[in-house]
Amino acid sequence: MIADIKQEILIASRVLYAPNGITNVQEGFSGHVSHRLPEGDKYIVTGHTHVVGRSTLDVGYDDLVSVDMKTGKRLEGTMPLLGENVIHTGVYRARPDVNCVIHVHPFWCTVLSLVDNQILGLPVFFTGKSQVESEEDGDALGRALGESYALLIPGHGVVVAADTIEQALVSTVYLEEQSKKLYHASVLGEIP
């Protein structure tokens, strides 16, 4: 089962950052996917591959780390933890029903988050900082998500939460596609 979870994380990472993929980040150097483990108090997440000069497209089994939700500390794996690991920890702590978290920086979602935070009808989390890196901010983000499936971080990206990696991936793609349509529609006039 854990091998299947790891494989799904790797596939989702590659789908999100494939050329012309959902995120529109050609370098593939940002974003992360996690999955809660069956024990419920740990999860697996992509490690900080950027510090070793590798892209999210290149992520492999050795780049995955398991994390203790109570402490936020790495339990297994050699890759350093991301500073934004607290996003995943905060969501899992606040939402026992969530088994997968994706944080990415899709172009159209990020654009809309800058101009009208309510256009997508999602909760918004704003810290005044460029990244979410403190445990307090991660927990506050988890609370701000509420019962929603996604949350905007203005100028920074989105957090998507779901029961499965497949659901989170589909929701992320859907959210970016809807954002693109809403942007183009807004050029024509006010959106009701």
CB 157 within 8 A of CB 109: yes
Q: Which residue has the higher pLDDT, 53 or 129?
A: 53
pLDDT, position 130: 66
Residue whose entry in the numeric block shows the structure tokens 């807004």 = 186
Reply yes or no on whether the pLDDT at 123 is more than 80.
no
Lowest mean pLDDT among 43-52, 87-96, 135-144: 43-52
Angle among Cα 175, 140, 24 to the nearest 5 degrees reads: 30
pLDDT, position 26: 46
- Range list of H helices, the chain: 2-17, 85-94, 107-115, 135-145, 165-188
- Mutual angle of helices 2-17 and 165-188, in 10-degree steps: 20
pTM: 0.91
The predicted model gives 28-38 an average pLDDT of: 84
Please name the residues in contact with 102: beta carbons below 8 A apart, sequence gap of 6 or more: 12, 16, 31, 32, 33, 34, 159, 160, 168, 169, 172
CATH class of the region 2-188: alpha beta
The ranges assigned to domains in the chain are 2-188
Percent of the chain scored above 70 by pLDDT?
A: 89
pLDDT, position 33: 95
